Structure 1
Amino acid sequence: MKFVAVTSCPTGIAHTYMAAEALEQVGKAAGHEVSVETQGSIGTEEVEHSVIDAADGVIFAADLEVKGRERFAGKPTIDVGVKRAVHEPQKVLDEAIAAVEAGPVVAAPGVADKAPAPARVDPRTVSTATRVRQWLMTGVSHMIPFVAAGGILIALSFMLAQVAWGGAEGAIEVTGVDAAAVLASFDPTSLQDWSVVLLKTGQLTFSFLVPVLSGYIAFGIADRPGLVPGFLGGAASVFIGAGFLGGLVTGFAAGFIALWISRWKVPKGLRGIMPVVVIPLLSSALVGILMLVVLGRPIAALMEGLTTWLNGLPASQIVLLGLLLGAMMGFDLGGPINKVAYTFAVTGLATEGLASDATQYKIMAAVMISGMVAPLALALATTVRKKLFTDIERENGKAAWLLGASFISEGAIPFAAADPWRVIVSSTIGSAVTGALSMAFGVTLVAPHGGIWVLPLVGNALGFLLALVAGVLVTTALVVLLKHTRSNRAEVEATQAAAVPVGA
């Protein structure tokens, strides 16, 4: 059989391409042809229409809304999450084969020599929870590049300011400078002026976070009609102080309102102005009133209370918070729970004051260091105890060194897929240790990504390294111990089986 697949994940980095490779390999091994379209962070590599026309079935392995879904209409289709395609590619392929067999393909009347068309289309059964997650992840995936760019620009500004002002207090000094005055008399030879420019650029980039989150959640629900009310709702959330919680609310509200209006049955004469006038006007008005008059103040009060609570946490509780966030980062290695912890960190990073010792910067550091633990630990384990791993796993271990150092937790996924409970238990415990130690050491980070490569931007770099090494050693020791126990048990069972007399 011939299949065409589409893969996408919230960040569009690792899972997107790992799922594509897994589906292609399992298809080839089974004698089927699988052509994959990756809708990742670097864009979409579209499959040709002729390939789609010739396909017997379609596999959507996506956590986001599939772009151009209409191109695949009329084909037996299955819709699964991207992680299933990574962990269970054979089962996904089997389901696709079953979908094709359930919907037989017949030639259209009078066109027997052309590409066949399916006699019927099986309706896709996608749960409401899955749809909500896809809409939410559409917003998050578009927001993350703004977080990364803005966070690193601000971090670079702080570094430059420390040099320009001759001390650590430079990070505070630069925030008090009048940016407009600096830009009016900008001096290209002044490090202080450059630090102000970088800071303002990063702050402007951050200012798009909530509107982008809200706008693309609405886009995921209603397509283009959702963009205007979604962005407007996000901007209203920022204006009134409702922050990211407000952006989430307005994203869903704008999407459903725009979808509702776009489905109105109107006279033909009005259809032309619906998408350019009526839908954006009415949906924006409704969303603006909803946020500015009804929901904005209560959500803003909730956000203010959350910020006050975080900054007022005693040392013991902040260590427990680090332990929890670390465990979440290590549990599903780039999956939904991991993304919840990461999103919590980066959204707080975007709304935190610029004090260098702010609690949210400690949270960001704990989350990033914990996310580096699993791939580095598995890389170390494959180095020190090679016999416990297959040849393929040892090769994956070589790549995991760089992936872990770059804060790409997905580098540990091949190991978790092959031996889930041993790897996940070890990773969760080791990452929790790192998160707790990071908080205890007071490590801070103003950059939302980068791994070891943003070490110059870390507050208490020694604490960063100690927390990371401790978690890696704990995870490595647990993985080796658990795998060694399994290996010994397998040898005992093999010996006992060999000792049983024939015919017994």
Structure 2
Amino acid sequence: MRFVAVTACPTGIAHTYMAAEALEQAAAERGDEISVETQGSAGSSPLATADIRAADAVILAADVGVTERERFAGKPIVEGTVKQAVENAAGLLEQGAAAPAPEQEDPHRAREQHHAESATAGAAGAEGTGSATRLRQWLMTGVSYMIPFVAAGGLLIALSFALGGYRITEAPDVTEHFDPATLTSWAALANQIGSAAFEFLVPVLAGFIAYGMADRPALAPGFVGGAAAMSVGAGFLGGLVAGLLAGAVVAGLRRVRVPKAVAGIMPVVVLPLLGTLIVGVLMFVVLGRPIAAVMTALTDWLNGLGGANAMLLGALLGGMIACDLGGPINKVAYTFAVGGLTTGSETALEIMAAVMAAGMVPPLALALAATLRSKRFTAAERESARPAWLLGASFITEGAIPFAATDPLRVIPSMIVGSAGAGALSMMFGVTLRAPHGGLFVLPLVGSPALYALAIVVGIGVSALLVTVAKSIGRRAAENVGSASVESPVAA
């Protein structure tokens, strides 16, 4: 059979390409042909039109909204997550082979129906896993487009503090005073550029949540709704609400039947105009202030955390990061940390540091254990240890997936304990971090880098020790069972 596939994860770094590779390997083992489009952070090369036409089925392994999905109208489509593709690519291909072809209909009508249904499935009352998965895809679409702004802005602000100290925020506007010969001016420039990048966070989040729900016509309402959320002080939470609201409003408007003379201008004029007006009114007049009050309460709660409460939060987020090694629970914890960066509070910066520390532990711990106690690991696991060093150092938790996929009951609990410990220690030490990504490569920009490194090392050591002990116990148990089965005939 011939398949085409699209893979996409929220960060677009690891899962996207691991899923693509797994699908390609599974297709080769089945004797099938497959072309995969990876919608990752480095961009993507679209599937050739000829490949789509020749395909017997389409595989969509994505945790975010797939762009230009209307290309596949009229083809059997199997949807799954990137984690499913990594762990069971053959199963997705089998589903694709068995999927019935949809009824043939007018392509233009099929595209319009797809947009309307995909945008309103959650609001129309879809229940169960499908509804929850769709909502998570919409939210992760917004987060994935927001992350580059957070990374650029956060790193520039962190660099400005490293060069000019924490009073660099009081420096005059560089458009009025900039001296190329002084380090302070360059620090102020970096700070002001980073702050400008941060101003896009909530509008971009809202805009692309709406885009994931209702495609391009929802972009303008989403961006404006996000900007309105910032204006009234609703922040990150307001951006989430504005994005979902904009997507739902535009999706609802698309279902209204209009004359053919008007249909041509609906996507570029009518839908953005009406959507922006409705969302703007609701955010400025109705929803903005209540959401701002909730956001203020959340910020005050974060700022009030200290001592055991802060450590408990760090341990909880650290455990969530390692729970599914880059899956939905991991992304919830990461999104919570990234969202806190928009508040600018000291505790929010500590949470970001704790989450990144916890995320680096699993790949590095497994790489260390597989290197020091290689006999406890299979040949494939020892091979996976090599890239795991770099992936872990880069804060790509997915580097631990090859180990967890083959031995989840011993690997995952061991990783949870070490990651939770690293998160708790980081919070206890009061380490701060403005960068949402980068791992050890942003260590010079971390507040209290020595203590941060200590928290990570302790977490790695705990997880490596636990997984080694777990594998040793499991191996001895297997050997005992094997020896008993050999001796039993003699004893009889």
TM-score between both structures, scaled by the size of structure 2? 0.92
**Given that residues 74 and 101 in structure 2 are in contact (C-alpha distance below 8 angstroms), is that contact kept between their aligned partners in structure 1?**
no
Query: Which residue is 1:52 aligned to?
Result: 52
Query: Which residue is 1:239 aligned to?
Result: 231
Q: Distance in 2 between matches of 1:367 and 1:337?
A: 12
Query: Which residue is 1:95 aligned to?
Result: 95
Q: Distance in 1 between matches of 2:136 and 2:329?
A: 12
Query: Which residue is 2:61 aligned to?
Result: 61
Q: Aligned to 1:36, what secondary structure does the other structure show?
A: strand
Alignment of 1:442-481 (within 5 A): 442-481=430-469
Q: Aligned to 2:258, what secondary structure does the other structure show?
A: coil
Which has the higher mean CA deviation after the structures are superposed, 275-284 or 482-491? 275-284
Q: Distance in 1 between matches of 2:243 and 2:206?
A: 4
Q: Distance in 2 between matches of 1:216 and 1:466?
A: 38
Pick aligned residue for 1:308 from 288, 300, 308: 300
Pick aligned residue for 1:320 from 296, 312, 316: 312
Q: 1:431-478 deviations in whole A, cap 9, x for unaligned?
A: 001111111111111222111111111111121111111110110011
Q: 1:463-496 deviations in whole A, cap 9, x for unaligned?
A: 1111111110110011111111111111112222
Q: Does residue 41 of the first structure (1) align with residue 29 of the second (2)?
A: no
**Given that residues 406 and 452 in structure 1 are in contact (C-alpha distance below 8 angstroms), is that contact kept between their aligned partners in structure 2?**
yes
Pick aligned residue for 1:288 from 273, 280, 285: 280
Q: Distance in 2 between matches of 1:473 and 1:349?
A: 29
Query: Which residue is 2:139 aligned to?
Result: 136
Q: CA deviation at 1:105?
A: 12
Query: Which residue is 1:78 aligned to?
Result: 78
Q: 1:253-303 deviations in whole A, cap 9, x for unaligned?
A: 111111222332223333343333322222111111111111111110111
Pick aligned residue for 2:291 from 279, 285, 299: 299
Pick aligned residue for 1:270 from 262, 271, 278: 262
Q: Distance in 1 between matches of 2:410 and 2:130?
A: 30
Q: Aligned to 2:4, what secondary structure does the other structure show?
A: strand
**Given that residues 19 and 83 in structure 1 are in contact (C-alpha distance below 8 angstroms), is that contact kept between their aligned partners in structure 2?**
yes
Q: Distance in 1 between matches of 2:46 and 2:261?
A: 36
Q: CA RMSD in A?
A: 2.1
Query: Which residue is 2:189 aligned to?
Result: 197
Q: CA deviation at 1:134?
A: 1.2
**Given that residues 225 and 262 in structure 1 are in contact (C-alpha distance below 8 angstroms), is that contact kept between their aligned partners in structure 2?**
no
Query: Which residue is 2:107 aligned to?
Result: none
Q: Distance in 2 between matches of 1:24 and 1:273?
A: 41
Alignment of 1:359-374 (within 5 A): 359-374=347-362
Alignment of 1:149-164 (within 5 A): 149-161=152-164
**Given that residues 434 and 467 in structure 1 are in contact (C-alpha distance below 8 angstroms), is that contact kept between their aligned partners in structure 2?**
yes
Q: 1:154-184 deviations in whole A, cap 9, x for unaligned?
A: 01111110xxxxxxxx21x2111221xx322
**Given that residues 323 and 432 in structure 1 are in contact (C-alpha distance below 8 angstroms), is that contact kept between their aligned partners in structure 2?**
yes
Q: Aligned to 1:265, what secondary structure does the other structure show?
A: coil
Name the aligned partner's letter for residue 131 of structure 1.
Answer: R
Q: 1:77-115 deviations in whole A, cap 9, x for unaligned?
A: 21111110111222222222222xx55999xxxxxxxxx
TM-score between both structures, scaled by the size of structure 1? 0.90
**Given that residues 211 and 219 in structure 2 are in contact (C-alpha distance below 8 angstroms), is that contact kept between their aligned partners in structure 1?**
yes
What percent identity do the matched residue pairs reach?
59
Q: Distance in 1 between matches of 2:367 and 2:103?
A: 47
Q: Aligned to 1:186, what secondary structure does the other structure show?
A: coil
Q: Distance in 2 between matches of 1:459 and 1:28?
A: 48
Query: Which residue is 1:343 aligned to?
Result: 335
Q: Distance in 2 between matches of 1:74 and 1:278?
A: 28
Name the aligned partner's letter for residue 50 of structure 1.
Answer: A
Q: Does residue 388 of the first structure (1) align with residue 376 of the second (2)?
A: yes
**Given that residues 74 and 103 in structure 2 are in contact (C-alpha distance below 8 angstroms), is that contact kept between their aligned partners in structure 1?**
no
Q: CA deviation at 1:405?
A: 0.8
Query: Which residue is 1:27 aligned to?
Result: 27
**Given that residues 360 and 397 in structure 2 are in contact (C-alpha distance below 8 angstroms), is that contact kept between their aligned partners in structure 1?**
yes
Alignment of 1:483-494 (within 5 A): 483-494=471-482
Q: Distance in 2 between matches of 1:473 and 1:185?
A: 50
Pick aligned residue for 2:169 from 175, 193, 199: 175
Name the aligned partner's letter for residue 168 of structure 2.
Answer: V
Unaligned runs of 5+ in 2: 105-116, 119-125
Unaligned runs of 5+ in 1: 107-122, 162-169
Query: Which residue is 1:215 aligned to?
Result: 207
Name the aligned partner's letter for residue 155 of structure 1.
Answer: A
Query: Which residue is 1:248 aligned to?
Result: 240
* Alignment length (residue pairs): 471
Name the aligned partner's letter for residue 450 of structure 1.
Answer: G
**Given that residues 74 and 102 in structure 2 are in contact (C-alpha distance below 8 angstroms), is that contact kept between their aligned partners in structure 1?**
no
Q: CA deviation at 1:347?
A: 1.4
Q: Aligned to 1:16, what secondary structure does the other structure show?
A: helix
Name the aligned partner's letter for residue 146 of structure 2.
Answer: M
Pick aligned residue for 2:428 from 435, 440, 444: 440
Q: Does residue 424 of the first structure (1) align with residue 412 of the second (2)?
A: yes
Q: Distance in 2 between matches of 1:79 and 1:276?
A: 29
**Given that residues 225 and 259 in structure 1 are in contact (C-alpha distance below 8 angstroms), is that contact kept between their aligned partners in structure 2?**
no
**Given that residues 234 and 247 in structure 1 are in contact (C-alpha distance below 8 angstroms), is that contact kept between their aligned partners in structure 2?**
yes
Q: Aligned to 2:58, what secondary structure does the other structure show?
A: strand
Q: Distance in 2 between matches of 1:384 and 1:240?
A: 55
Q: Distance in 2 between matches of 1:489 and 1:441?
A: 40
